Structure 1
Amino acid sequence: EAWDDYTRQRVQLYQEYETQCQRESVVDFAELLLRSYELLERNEPLRRHYQRRFRHILVDEFQDTNRLQYRWLRLFADEGREGGAAMFCVGDDDQSIYRFRGAEVGNMRDFEREFRVQNVIRLEQNYRSHSNILDAANAIIRHNSNRLGKNLWTDQGAGEPIRVFEAFSDGDEARWIVEEIQSLVRDGALRSEIALLYRSNAQSRVLEHQLFSAGIPYRVYGGLRFFERQEIKHALAYLRLIANPDDDTSFARVVNFPTRGIGARSLEVLTDAARVYNTSLYATVPHLTGKPGTSLAQFVRLVEDLRRDTASLPLPELVDHVLDLSGLRAHYKADKEGRERLENLDELINAAANFLAESQVDAEVLAQPHALLADFLSHASLEAGDHQADQGADAVQLMTVHSAKGLEFNVVFLSGLEEGLFPHENSILETDGLEEERRLMYVAVTRARERLYLSFAQSRMLHGQTRYNLRSRFLEEIPPELTKWLTPPNPRSAAGGAMGGMGGGYFKPSSAPQVQRAPRPAFATLPNGLRIGQSVSHAKFGQGVIVAAEGSGADAKVQINFGPAGVKWLLLAVAKLEPV
């Protein structure tokens, strides 16, 4: 029984979906499994027929089966009783990483118990990786409970130590990775044998930017480059309409996204009128009457409002404002699968902030946000580019850890090893979530044949904000004799001590007393006559009080408590703060 409006709506939608499927006599894959199970369960002659027909059943990737699949197999084999089919199951419970798709790692343990398996064969010799890598993987996964248990080994020798790098920021981390890749390539390594792994798709943006800037060909395996992703293209289309309302391609892309009741017929009428008047789609709208004219006029007003409201905002805040007012954020928040797309949208704000920091623009350009926006859009188009040639080239491979399963590379960089990112912050709140993250780490480590790099950053721009991070607990689970730190280990960034044993992830800048920062030059007197404790006004966040400051020159930033709007870190070169 549904106890809330959201669940009631889901039940209603499912009932309507089921009615439609029955009307058309179709089933989806999950329903196909369910119908098969029900048929075998209720029809004993049919079940016996198939048990006699198929005397031996082989199941591969058993760790990725869901509960319904397991019940189906168990019924088919008659739970191992005489007369049922004989089953041979192959799987690795330490590589069960698809719980979000319904995979149930406990199926393997249940199978061993319920079928009274007498002979479990452990395939422990590894022919891929050197023993330093395997020993690290064994040590990490040993922290999980309820495993069937195995210990990987190899006769290929210890190999090189696992290299660990601590960066100040995600940008520094990405630059170091690119420099290391360049060094490896100079020494004869193939770029196609180098993989950059990350926990979340949104992390690829800063890596892609540095690879692009260095002229290194790369390929995003199992996904799209950052600026090719659907939600980023939608956001850029809105931004292009702000910079140039006569951009017909951008107009057509988002005029009805998110859906606002503008159908194909209205767009056809608009297109025909634009040919007659020889004007852009945007400029043609005032000439239309009736329902098409009314609905399209509402979209034009939205674009005009965006242009007006962002005329004085710094570039990152301009992007943030557009994501809200366009409805893109609300659209993806309502989408069950929209979390990753929201992360990418937030990363677009970071891209704008990085562009601003790297452009070194003068005050005159900063005073013209829409002109700066046009430069940013040109930069985004350049980075997106036409990368078809990279597909067959000797290109560095970028992918999430999930996409890397089943693959292997001579060199693997695993970035973003920070609490809250890997392990992911959501895993702390989910039953067995941390164990799934540890299995994901196990998969990541065992992708490397010869050389493995692990890196993390003290601060990272993620989801539209700067986070000050503790290094991942998974780093602490690797025996120190297997690692070689390329930077001096910083005990203050360790997950154990600073976390106080709490399950948790990251600290936002508002958690100032707990934040561990790398040393940065400080200033006693702030630029522009500002001072700590002073009240200031900001165009978007309103009035607040400066509570902290760090950095100097172009990197100078202040922490401001804006009350209802929260505590924010702002770059002084960008924020346009006014003393109150």
Structure 2
Amino acid sequence: MESADELLEHLDPEQREVATRFGVPLCVRAGAGTGKTRAITYRIAYAARAGILDPRNVMALTFTSRAAGELRSRLRDLGVRGASAHTFHAAALRQLGYFWGTAIGGAVPPIAENKLSMVAQAAGQLGMTTDSVSLRDMASEIEWSRVSLVTPDDYPDRARSLQRDQAAGYPAEEIARLIRAYEDVKQNRGVIDFEDVLLLLIGILIDRPDVARMVRDQYRHFVVDEYQDVSPLQHRLLQLWMGERRDLCVVGDVSQTIYSFAGASSRYLADFAREFRGAQILELIRDYRSSPQIVACANEVIAPDSSKGAVRLVSQLPSSVPVVFKEYGDDVEEAEAVAAEILQLREKGVGLADIAVLYRTNAQSAEFEAALGRAGVDYSIRGSERFFSRREVREAMVGMRAAARAEAGGALADDVKAVLMQRGWREQPPEGAGAARERWSALAALLKMAEEMERARGAGMAEFVAELEERAQIQAAPETDSVTLASLHSAKGLEWHAVFLVGMSEGLMPISLAKGEDAIDEERRLMYVGITRAKQCLQISYAKGNGQRSARKMSRFLQGTWPRPSEPVSRATSYRERKAAAARQFAAEHEDDVPLFEALVEWRLEASRRIDKPAYVILHDSTLRAVAVAKPATLAQLGKIRGIGASKLAEWGEEILGVVAQSGSGR
């Protein structure tokens, strides 16, 4: 196991500062691809190895189960055991279950997995619309009000101030009534929702100082990832968890604030030093993910955003291919062209799992699904069928549990391969696309994960099964060999070798529903997130038409970044450019003949003055260059040169031969 100092050797200077700066509240402004997760996991590992803290007293918080699972996995790879790494909701739910009997009594009420039925009942009681679209909008607004700590009484004024006063087409006063009715429905059903998990724990920590003291005795060091996504509700809970303590490290990027519509607020990140006196601010700007071309594009797109605390990325990678910009006639043409480009990438050796097609709305995926299907390219839609719900995956996990109980003693990857082959899996994939290929890819993903765990930490079958079971609980699927289709929101936190950013036209980016300056700014940040998912290859495109008319325009966010079309050039300008190009080419190919050509040009100018006519009437530059190369010594030789006919030869032949002879070049 590496020592504390040896751990630091894996970090760059700024990451090392993050890992070693203790004793003050620390805010890390970390741009996309700068290794923020690496920095915070090494911070915990370094402090544990150096004896600065006990990992059991650490609470690391993030915003998705997948990200929390990755934190735990990386900490295990670094030999750290005992640290808590959870989402806010998961951490709160564990504490709520532990303290409920003491603080409230009885069992924690069941959590409603989906609030739509309760919203529908509340809306029906008020005579409001209950179609599926309206219900989703109503549920989102109820969630926003609760995570923003906005009461029904305060909702109308707050919603109007933020231009949210027409949710589901209803005035703010009606939505406030709906929020009250929803709370009544929930209470009558005897259930709580996910927001209640945090709200109830906050109430317990406020009302029961003894419970708050127990929590603070357990958790003394806090790390919060993606701090730009913190909501007022989560921020309040964090305050109560910490109490008077100041051992807090937060990491975030205001340029990736894309969940304001759901209650997230980057102001806690931007104003960290104001909230925590004596806090120190560090920046991570070295981008290890994206090429200089992609980073330059991202910086240009985000530049007009004036968010406080933003950082400007600097790529650390070698120069790569340029960013590609494409305009298509319609959606079908765009999808077919992208599918063709993906086939070319595959031919060049890029794995399908390292390619993504990203779009603004889920409805845009249909054309790309169809085009990839016709091309025989496997794809997976992020957020669709859950990996661990697949039959072949469940059956494979049963076999691996049996192997773990039998204490399989070989190398992990070999043992996993044996289990898979017992169930009919083979190393060679089936031909073509379809269900058989999807099943093969799912099982191949398990084998790849086993190989990575064996390489990273020498894991055995028992540890592999435990990892799978944890991933199944949080739906953190391993990577499959297929192209990813994903919305920009669902792509956050991920990366691919090649990214196709499609449908980047006005009305889709920014989305037509975005009203007001703040909403438009958030759409710009969303495009920035999409661009920074790409490592080496990025193509940005849009379709001018939708099958009926060509009315779409390029997204305003790409103005100044999208290459300008060639502007019409005047004849005079065109002639000058061609003349200059010809001169450069002649000089490069016939360097020794340039002096004679220049002498011939001088002679032609003097002759044109004698006859009072333009120089080109005598001979063109191309003819003079041919003379300079041929260096004729007789009229017969001169007459063979293209551009010198009988009349030219009779009128100017002797003078031309004289210039050639005077130069000492005559043959």
When normalised by structure 1's length, the TM-score is 0.50
Looking at secondary structure, tell me which structure has more strand per residue: 1
Looking at secondary structure, tell me which structure has more helix per residue: 2
Greater Cα radius of gyration, structure 1 or 2:
2
When normalised by structure 2's length, the TM-score is 0.44
